[in-house]
Structure 1
């Protein structure tokens, strides 16, 4: 059974139109609904994510995703990368996704985020990749690589999709409120992208208290502290946060 996803696109090329962050979040929410969460109401297991994303229907076009966790993965310069999404014009509608398990064996949070990042490329880049081979990878470090403008946009979009898929705004906000109340931290009214009617964490909260809440949230969602910090900022869940 395939998962159906949709977003504004050019019908002639299947390429995404310029998408606001909220639109990317909505696409991630479509996929998240199809992922089983057997052990946690908040965190996603990479195996469950892969199981849900083997056959997709993106803007009414079928995409079959072939996953490989058994081989080392390199970029064009033979440098190791965390994951890669490839397409071949001789096999339209197929995405070949390889995850560098050897680099990720002791980092379950990084394994999860890499799978989700590459899925972002599958969802937004594969439907339009019909004319020539294409490769999109998640590097170990951004330092050695230089990207053109289009690739930078694709990478940012894949990261935004990854973030909203693993840590959506409303569930994150609900858990933030729960932890803040448990610690008796001050919450205030401010604009945000989370649960309607809920307050956000006050900007004058002590840094050590913020750090404690971030660590608790990271445990809830199975990601790193840094991952949570970025999502809190993106959703404006700490007073004064901005997009």
Structure 2
């Protein structure tokens, strides 16, 4: 026979168990509702945010790098454009007009070398210097009144000078000749390009071997060719094209 006290104890124990199971059920239900309602989203959101920050940081770094490169590229483009403009401006500058050269207005320049360091005397007996021809191609023709080939070719030099005088200077120098005879020859042959007198050893300095002698001189004053013998207009033009790029 069971005692009344044991019955009460069993009844209380059963009630506690029921309450405990009820609490556990409520906890499980609450957890389920919390998860279904997105209770785990903050952690996921934080991860997404971290990934976004990482990706955003890379994007920022990339953006910063692009920004730092683009100004440099722009600077290079600007420099290139400026260089192109400068080059175009330099290319557009007209070459000196060799017809405007007056060797009488120049003195021998000790800073120059080659032909440009030499001087001569005009047929008007004025001192002149080859330094005045610096920057221009120059053809020097040595002639003499007593030299038949010299007298023969002088009109061809005149024609060449009339056609190309703006690009190439022409100078006639009377060598081993009297001043009055040289002047008479120039007038008789209709020569209008500058002429002078070789009173020293210019003929030898220019490498002359016989009369007539024609010398082609670069704009820098260097002798490109020394030719002894008669030249026609075609010969002069061909050599000028070869040496000076006419």
* Pairwise same-fold verdict (TM > 0.5): no
TM-score interval for Structure 1 and Structure 2 normalised by the shorter chain: under 0.3
TM-score by length of 2: 0.24
Give the greater-gyration-radius structure (CA): 2
TM-score by length of 1: 0.24
